[in-house]
Chain A
Amino acid sequence: MSSRAKVGLALTMLLVLVPILGVRNIFYLEVIFQIAVFAALALGLNIVVGFAGLLDLGYVAFYAVGAYLWAFFGSQQPYLLHAIPGTAPPGTPFFLPGDTFYVFIALGVIVAALTGLLLGLPVLRLRGDYLAIVTLGFGEVIRVLANNLDKPLNLTNGPQGITPIQRPTLPAELLVVLRAIMNPLVGHNVSEGDFYNLFFYLTALVVIVVVILIVRRLDDSKIGRAWTAIREDETAAIAMGIPLVRLKLYAFAAGASFAGAMGVLFSASRTFVSPESFSFMQSIGVLSMVILGGLGSIPGVILGAAVVIILNLQVLQTFSLYLSQLRQSDAVIPIINFAWKDLSTQLDPAKYQRMLFGVILIVMMIYRPAGLIPAARRKRELLREDEADVDQNGGSEEIANGAS
């Protein structure tokens, strides 16, 4: 199949099939929306970790910055700066109209990129483990700030989080048209909420297409080559005339910016943000997507995001549900003949979900250490067939001579 046909097929699936299935069963739409969000996050982190080789354990901080940016301006929060959390007077208006959401996606990119620079500047001299620890700290600082900035000025509404957050308006006429198309396809009347889910899903798709385009173009340029060179050997890279500081800052800023955009999208789609969404585990989750999929590999990272999300939202949950059912039944564990229901609560199978995820990660790293789709270098030398033959022989001979 030609690559054009593949893209066509993928687009048909994503733009026609998924919306129809998604509206029939909203759970699928949720899964694929989350995949899209986390794929964008993973692609961003991939620039920092995969391309430039800077281990960032606090990546979710930039996602939080984007999310809280829209959460603050897209809610009533600016009017509640002096209010105690949870005591918003009824009838408080929204600060900005919901349609400024689109502007805020761009603003999220800029603010997150600036935050990336802010983090990048002081830590550029650090390498490897030290950098990882500092970014971990940074991620926690942002979360703790979100948790505690309800005093002296109530910026984040503290641990309760900010809600409601506005969504952009879907024009009524558009809804009529969409219903006319969708209702017969789905078989029931599609609610406005479903259309919002579709809308956020499609927006996430647009963002991710833009992200892929940007990442690919950067990767295949002087900047991308310099990032890889820095990852491979910093000292050699600097001796090649690569300004280390500037390129590391680029990597931090570019990676952060995608997370910022997705943060804005996330807070609007949930109409709610709280510090809990930006825990250290989230950073680790995104990192595991990058590593599982293949460090530095764009299709790998997207697949990694899909696999991790599907595992966590669907496969492992179904599995632990199944185990819980066993526990309530009279079934026994085969071979050792032990009744499931006699299992102590500490060994509750529902708790195996995360353990299984961990086991899968370990097995993957043992058998496919380079990830699901390992990063491949592009073939560039581009010799013509006939020429290639001769040169290949000449070249290998030469190298054979060169071998000691």
Chain B
Amino acid sequence: MALLETHGVTKRFGGLQAVGQMDFVLDQGRIVSIIGPNGAGKTTFFNTLTGLYKPEEGEVIFDDHKLVGLRPDQITTLGIARTFQNIRLFGSMTVIENIMVGLYPRLKQTGMDALLRNKRFKEEEKYAHARATELMAFMSLKGVGDELARNLPYGGQRRVEIARALASNPKLLLLDEPTAGMNPRETDDAVRLFRRVRDELGVTILLIEHSMRVVMDISERISVMDYGLKIAEGMPAEIANNPKVVEAYLGRGAATLADEETVNESA
């Protein structure tokens, strides 16, 4: 069953078409990657899905809801959570507070409840704390809950960002280059973690990724974008041998993807 569908989504900035006529279907429970050279429009596509950008044309349907025109916070409440390409944590809040912020759409307390410290407020705060602790354990973040988020090392911050996104109980998790800047060992850990998120929490995952190692390892399907257009789609093996993809990455007449892979690894 399709969890997310887009039909002809187009986003322009002035004369530049960042995303053009994007048709995309994502089935529930999958791990799917979007790849493409820098500036291909991948992040812009993410931003139109999450409501940060409003597409000029097209439709986004998520879980039977039309998303175009909704505010980002409404879309998050419907069940799409995301992380950012350059980590965007709330630096001077603690790790556990960051995750509790992620719980915002799931808490029903009002300002009046907070002022009165009534039963609903106390129960919700207890729940929020328990849920955040649970997610920290899941993300191997136990023991750093009271650290300021900005004091964590890079890998830890990445995990906090994912924990924060998961706090809203999303159906779909969008990861924007989640392994950028990681060494091979950290990358392997991250890939395992993504699988656990899907298998144990049942969250569908859509990721933008540059590392071919990760993409080929984890993706069940891959979409390739170039100059704002989707140029290919399919299983990892199909994509690896698709001449259009090789061309987009390495230019006309380039060699095989195997070479391309090494280029990416050393970059």
Residues of A within 8 A of B (CB): 214, 217-218, 220-226, 228-229, 232-233, 235-244, 250, 377-381, 383, 388, 391-396, 398-404
Contact = CB atoms under 8 A, between A and B. Distances in A.
A399 B101 contact: no
A169 B218 CA distance: 77
B114 A221 contact: yes
Interface stretch (B84-92, B201-209, B254-262): B84-92
A381 B96 contact: yes
B128 to A, nearest CB: 8
Interface class of chain A by DSSP: helix
Given A218-B114, A239-B52, A380-B146, A399 B77 contact: no
Interface of B: 50, 52, 71-73, 76-77, 81-82, 84, 88-94, 96-97, 100-105, 107, 109, 111, 113-115, 117, 121, 124-125, 128-129, 133, 136, 140-146, 148, 152-156, 158-159, 164, 168, 181-183, 185-186
B172 to A, nearest CB: 13
A239 B76 contact: yes
A241 B111 contact: no
7 contacts: A222-B104, A229-B101, A379-B146, A380-B129, A380-B145, A391-B142, A394-B143
B117 A236 contact: no
Contacts of B71: 238, 243
Given A222-B104, A239-B82, A242-B101, A232 B146 contact: no
Contacts of B144: 395-396, 399
Contacts of B142: 391, 394-395
B229 to A, nearest CB: 26
Contacts of A395: 140-144
Contact of A235 (B88, B100, B164): B88
A399 B104 contact: no
B146 A222 contact: no
A380 B93 CA distance: 11
Contacts of A221: 109, 111, 113-114, 121, 125
A228 B142 CA distance: 23
A217 B89 contact: no
B159 A402 contact: yes
B153 A236 contact: no
A396 to B, nearest CB: 7
